[in-house]
Amino acid sequence: RMLSGYKPKNDVKDSYKILELEEGCSPDDVRNSYHNLAKKYHPDSSSGMADSKAFIKVEEAYRVVLSDLGAKQKSGPGEEEEEEEQFKSKSLQHRHYLSFEGVGIGTPSQREKQYMQFRVDRATEQVLQYRQHRLESRYAGSDLSMAKDVRQSKKVKITQAVERLVEDLIQESMAKGDFDNLSGKGKPLQKFSDSPHIDPMTHNLNRILIDNGYQPEWILLQKEIRETIERLRKSVVASRRKLGEPMTLPEQKQWGRVCEQFAEDIRKLNKRVDDFNLVVPILSRQMVHFSTDKEILRARKTYEAVLEKVSDSDTKENEGEKGKRFGWRSSLLKWLKL
């Protein structure tokens, strides 16, 4: 530093005071004083007065005092070069200890490895703190979600407790011999089918699923499609019956809107038919699309059949009333003749 134009912050008088020396002392006195102060303030020393800032000030003061002594000794060129070489040989080699933030002990390479591990640990701790803060901010104010999670965990615990209780009761009954009087004890399970091409395990599993109410997806879809088309047919017939016969102009517009809505419902139902055809395992069970025109024509025919039944019932009622009237008149005439 001295040869490269390094300018210390301390002046000569302050440097002598820091080293606890007076001007005119010898270089050996300067070195001895520096060594004593370094043992006192060096960060790696075991002294209770260790302070890195104070040590830096002592080091700068040491260099300033050596420079002042070298300037006062008006030595020749050879002696000056010898003094510079002496300064180089006496220059401190432990400045790099302060570059590791005072972390680690041992040789410089060992301290460097320890400092790198310290930086890794510190970065890991910072990442964990960041994640913790992010989770806290995310779930801040979410008491409802936390309560829901608590209820779900309690539900799972209760379910597991019930399962364990049932298992304990079964094991206790087996130990008491409650299952010894069963007819099939010690015998293999009977096959549900005599066909050699059916896997018994698969058949038994399917039987268990069926007994517990399980139904495949395509069966549920088929049932849903049938129920939907029946409901649509009944609704369009009911709408037609409300309009009456013959329809007026406003009623015809209303019937047109009913037909448009019916066509939209049929289009959605045909999408469900496509989904059914994709999952049905049997090719012969696939369904065709429903036609809007055919369904409307069917609804009209159903409406006409309902009208015919209503008209027939009305005609029979009228004929019955007429018969009652004529019978009353004939009985009256017979009584008058008598």
At 273-298, the pLDDT tens digits run 999 999 888 888 899 999 999 998 99
Mean pLDDT on 52-73? 83
Give the pLDDT of residue 288: 92
Query: In one letter, which amino acid is 300?
Result: R
Give the pLDDT of residue 81: 54
Please say if the pLDDT value at position 30 is more than 50: yes
The chain-wide mean pLDDT, for the chain, equals 77
The string of pLDDT tens digits covering residues 32-51 is 888 888 888 887 777 778 77
Give the pLDDT of residue 136: 78
Same domain, 271 and 314: yes
78 within domain boundaries: no
Give the pLDDT of residue 329: 58
Mean pLDDT on 251-266? 91
Which range of residues forms the domain containing residue 147? 143-178
The string of pLDDT tens digits covering residues 91-118 is 445 554 456 677 777 787 888 888 888 8
Give the pLDDT of residue 225: 93
Confidence tier at 319 by pLDDT (50, 70, 90)? low
Q: Which residue has the higher pLDDT, 252 or 140?
A: 252
Could you give the angle at the alpha carbon of 186 between the alpha carbons of 184 and 188, nearest 5°?
75
Same domain, 231 and 263: yes
Between the alpha carbon of residue 204 and those of residues 182, 183, 200, the distances in Å are 20, 19, 6
306 within domain boundaries: yes
Same domain, 136 and 58: no
42 within domain boundaries: yes
In the chain, the percentage of residues whose pLDDT exceeds 90 is: 13
185 within domain boundaries: no
The string of pLDDT tens digits covering residues 118-142 is 888 888 888 888 888 888 777 665 6
Core vs surface per residue 141-151: b (16+ CB within 10 A) or e? eeeeeeeeeee
194 within domain boundaries: no
Same domain, 237 and 291: yes
93 within domain boundaries: no
116 within domain boundaries: yes
Same domain, 230 and 312: yes
Confidence tier at 191 by pLDDT (50, 70, 90)? low
312 within domain boundaries: yes
Q: How many domains does the chain have?
A: 4
The string of pLDDT tens digits covering residues 149-166 is 777 777 777 888 888 888
Q: Which residue has the higher pLDDT, 123 or 205?
A: 123
Q: Which residue has the higher pLDDT, 3 or 85?
A: 85
Same domain, 174 and 116: no
Same domain, 23 and 113: no
Give the pLDDT of residue 91: 46
Highest average pLDDT, of 1-5, 73-77, 241-245, 262-266, comes from 262-266
Give the pLDDT of residue 289: 93
Same domain, 62 and 119: no
Same domain, 110 and 67: no
